[in-house]
Amino acid sequence: MVYPVTGKPITTAYGVKGSMWSCGYHDGIDQAAPTGTPIVAMWGGTVVEAAYPTSFGSAFGRAVVIDHDRLDGSPGGWGLYAHMNEIVVSVGQRVEVGQKIGEVGTTGNTSGPHEHAGVYMEPRWTSGGGVNPQRWLDAGGGSGGTAPPSSEYPAPTSNEVRLSKLWQGQLDSDSVWYLQRAANDHSLPYPGNVTLPLTGNFLDQTATVIKTCQQVHGFGDDPMGSVSVGPQQAAHLFAGSGLTVVDDV
């Protein structure tokens, strides 16, 4: 695996909760390092933004966005490298894994020099649109020249969906992965007519789809407008899936 800042530990991991982040949690990984420390690409790809600010917003400071390669041809996988002091690549440039793209700085909203790396399923910032870069790194998306996995969270091996996991704020959950897959099989009006990335994280976008589903179908005694899935909505979403729904709320 190739981290953006070689030899430096993760100082803030993905998913850490806090009011200083607009989505309520940290949606990338941070590596603290002195200003001027080289930043390299985690995977190969094409630079689509190298600016201040980018479409991800001024909070990220001077940043590079790379459309990373996916060997299986699936869409998505935009890497954001933020808070740079200097940028050494340009839009349209092809970069390879481990290639220098900039230097650590303190631009944007920072409390000190560090590099923030985020991976997103859209080429812009949306609340809940980020996925865990660590999972892609663990999948070997650099050291062997392979691409990130086709879905950010690995497909579950269990056959259970637990209602105790189907509420907003759950991270890295097999049950949420199944929920997102089931929601994608349903046709819903705006604002629920989106394809959810299979992240296993029950965040804003998943909550919007779930509430739209509730408004369309009702589900009797289940609470409407909720950011959790009740037993009747679960029965509807997972009908015919072969999964076991466990009511452990």
Tens digit of pLDDT for each residue in 119-170? 887 788 877 677 778 766 765 543 334 445 445 577 888 999 999 999 987 8
- pLDDT score at 142: 39
Task: Look at domain 29-138 and name its CATH class.
Answer: mainly beta
Q: Based on DSSP, count helices (H) and strands (E) in the chain, helices before strands.
A: 4, 12
Continuous H helices in 105-246: 133-138, 174-184, 204-217, 231-237
List the structure tokens of 242: 């072969």
Give 76-91 pLDDT, tens digit per residue.
Answer: 578 999 999 999 999 9
Q: Taking the model in full, what pTM does it have?
A: 0.63
Cβ neighbour number for residue 224 with a 10 Å cutoff: 12
pLDDT of residue 73: 47
Count Cβ atoms within 10 A of the Cβ of residue 93 and give its class: 0-12 exposed, 13-18 middle, 19 or more buried.
Answer: middle
Which structure tokens are listed for 239? 């009908």
pLDDT computed for residue 29 by the predictor = 92
The two tokens of residue 60 are 């990220």
Question: Position 187: which residue type?
Answer: S
Strands 130-131 and 63-68: unpaired
Q: How many CA atoms lie within 13 A of 102 on its CB side?
A: 32
The stretches in the chain having pLDDT less than 70 are 1, 70-76, 128, 135-136, 138-152
- The C-alpha atoms of residue 65 and residue 52 are separated, in whole angstroms, by 11
SS3 state at 131: strand
The tokens for 62 are: 């001077």
User: What tokens were used for 121?
Assistant: 């399923």
Using the structure block, give the residue that is written with the tokens 């590099």.
115
The answer, yes or no, to whether the previous bond of 191 is cis (omega within 30 of 0) is yes
* 3-state SS class at 126: coil
Distance from the Cα of residue 155 to its chain's centroid: 16
DSSP label at residue 164: G
For tokens 């759950």, name the residue.
170
Going by the DSSP 8-state scheme, the letter that residue 232 receives in this structure is H
Q: What is the pLDDT of residue 129?
A: 72
> Which tokens go with 163?
């209602």
